[in-house]
Amino acid sequence: MSDTVTAADAVADCIRSRRTTKLFIDRPVPREHVLAAIELARWAPNHHLTEPWHFYLLGEQSRLQTIELIKTITHDNKGPELAAFKAESAAAIPGWLVVTCKRSSDALLEREDYAACCCAIHNLTLYLSAHGISAKWSTGPVTRDARLFELLNIDADRKFVVGLIWFGYPSVKPEQSRSELDSSFTELD
């Protein structure tokens, strides 16, 4: 087997084996893997090289404040039982990262910047996955709540949240499938 085939297989395996994971074991993720993942994320394709992303790695205080905010939002929208459940589940998640994208008055530029941020997040989660670390990209209500921007000191006029990325070593890695290739592929003459 040539080196190229081996490298291509490794990339394919990395892409295929990454799974969105909601449950994590109680084991800290080495900081160097997280920092390397953020560094690598920025090598995403990016039209005009605007580098529209920003990565906020939450420490203990901001993590606890965000969990409290999730609890409050869920309480107000869905009631106390679900709020307590969400807060408990969130408290068991070891890694918290918020990824923002620059706002722009130019709709096309903002769309392209958002696409680049999505590619960056995928780079990040693929790299973590290669280290056995799973993630869940969340776009839940907290990611659009003004109080999150306030507590993380993010200027909501200049940035929006692309994702809250939870990560850690998985306790259960779910099975996933995709539909037949034919349903999403057309080859033209």
Residues 147-176 that bind ligand FMN (CB under 6 A): 176
Q: Is the dihedral of CA 6, 8, 11, 12 positive or negative?
A: negative
Q: Is 139 in the site for ligand FMN (CB under 6 A)?
A: yes
User: Which of these, 41, 61, 65, lies nearest to 53 by C-alpha position?
Assistant: 41
Does 100 bind ligand FMN (CB under 6 A)? Our answer is no
The least CB distance from residue 19 to ligand FMN, in Å, is: 4
Residue 30 has what DSSP assignment? P
Give which of 123, 159, 156 is closest to 18, Cα–Cα: 123
Binding piece for ligand FMN, criterion CB under 6 A, among 29-37, 74-82, 85-93, 130-138 = 130-138
**Among residues 20 and 65, whose Cβ is nearest to ligand FMN?**
20
User: 18 vs 102, which CB is nearer to ligand FMN?
Assistant: 18
Residues near 153 by beta carbon (within 8 Å), at least 6 away in sequence: none
20 binds ligand FMN (CB under 6 A): yes
- With contacts defined by CB under 6 A, name the span among 3-11, 46-54, 64-72, 132-140 that binds ligand FMN: 132-140
Choose among 124, 122, 125: nearest CA to 135: 125
What is the smallest separation between the CB atom of 45 and ligand FMN, expressed in angstroms? 16
* Strand intervals (E) in 40-158: 53-57, 95-102, 134-138
- Residue 137 binds ligand FMN, judged by CB under 6 A: yes
Residues in the site for ligand FMN, rule: CB under 6 A?
19-20, 136-140, 176
